[in-house]
Amino acid sequence: MVSFYLLQMNAKKLIQESTLLYNAAPTQCKQVRSIHLFSNGAIWMHSHMNQSENNFPHSVPFTLYGLLKYGISLSLFFISLVLLYPIHILLLPLSIFFFYIAEVHFLFLFPLLIDNVENPIWQSIKQTYRLGIVKTVFTVILIAFFMLYGLINYTDPLRNWHIGCLALLIWYKNEVRDWIQPSV
Q: Give phi and psi for 164, each to the nearest 5.
A: -65, -40
- Could you read off the pLDDT of 36-79 as tens digits, one per residue? 666 767 766 776 666 545 577 778 888 899 999 999 999 999 99
Q: How far apart are CA 74 and CA 76, in angstroms?
A: 5
- Where do runs of H (alpha helix) occur along the chain? 4-24, 37-49, 62-84, 94-104, 109-114, 120-131, 133-150, 159-175
Residues in CB range of 163: below 8 A, 6 or more apart: 15, 18, 19, 22, 146, 147, 150
Q: Where are the domains of the chain?
A: 4-51+59-179
Pick from 49-63, 74-88, 142-156, 170-184: least confident: 49-63
- Return the higher-pLDDT residue of 25 and 166: 166
- Could you read off the pLDDT of 9-37 as tens digits, one per residue? 788 898 898 888 888 876 655 555 566 66
* DSSP states of 120-132: HHHHHHHHHHHH-
